[in-house]
Structure 1
């Protein structure tokens, strides 16, 4: 497999596809962030790091947060500016935040913490956070207990040559350790939700994953053609229900 840095920047090759097909997040997620952080998002100064095309940034802004985005990818930042022309965005990543110290109430990583080095990203977050601030990281993870989704995941891992994800989610303590947040006060919540989309959107969504984007174009195309045929038979109406479990960690400095 290509190194993590290559996979992280691979999204630039499919920025428009990412913007059009990737899922957002349920309202309950942001309610949990407010509860764990002990403050409302309305009026909070937030940095959304690894903001991509602005999916999480848009949701945070809609809840009244004063958001600045941080994004390393040029094409992703371009899509962000088209979607959110009034929201400031700076180029950079979580290992060296281009932000002033003690300047933000909340730092968020939606789908992007795995592209950081926690040994560098955690101290950077603590530097930028104001007293009483919080760090929130989350992922839309796959609901493996849905049979067709679990079967599709197995096909994807075989085709892309990646290690299959465990169907057993880590315990709270393991999740904190794996995220590199040991030593901080961390609250965790897992929220199940779903969305119904067209088959085209679903295939564009899975095709925008980094494991696919680093493959040869012919390999990507072959898989998606075969997958369209499989799912077309299983879902003759042309729509699928994608099921997710949002895994949220909110860390508070001690």
Structure 2
């Protein structure tokens, strides 16, 4: 069970996480977030569940989680000044927030473009940002996060054991989920406030510092075809730079998929 009072005790935010909607079970925290927005919500509302049974991942994939062991939550956010051209950076910012929060618990992870949370070369989490845009104005954003916290190897399907892991598997001990989420939210509010107030804020520098595959050979899919190249870094607007045949190519998170480090 998630104890919301422990989350609140570790929060240092002004708005994010001040309103917590906790459910013992949900199909999807992102879907529930959009329902709450329809009913009338405030920015910073946190939706969290102990058992997400139909979690959403990128490109229509499903995010698998384990009841009582995973951390699955969504944050409702209403941008004030972020232009629609920079909406893709919210996923980048969220990844940095997660790594900053984990670092405060002496957990040093990395990021794989565009939204994978990596620890010891295995995926322990992911991010799914969804938005509602009206007349080129971002009305609402839902930031969905899933992190494998206290799962054992037996909790994963056999086809996932080579590429997925959890904090418990990598660290050899349980981690209090409430402290993890509070640390993430604390850092997320700091970054969002800076992002909103400073139009020149270059968040790509922080992301590149966490990247696990800068200057490494990668494969990826575009238009159902596999391509290869050298991953360089990401740009100030969140696109990745992959060098192929001596030419730098720029891709958004929506334009390619299944990036693999070779």
Q: Greater strand percent: which structure? A: 2
Q: Greater helix percent: which structure? A: 1
Q: TM-score range by the shorter chain?
A: under 0.3
Between the two structures, name the one with larger relative contact order (CA 8 Å, sep ≥ 6): 1
TM-score where L is the length of structure 2: 0.27
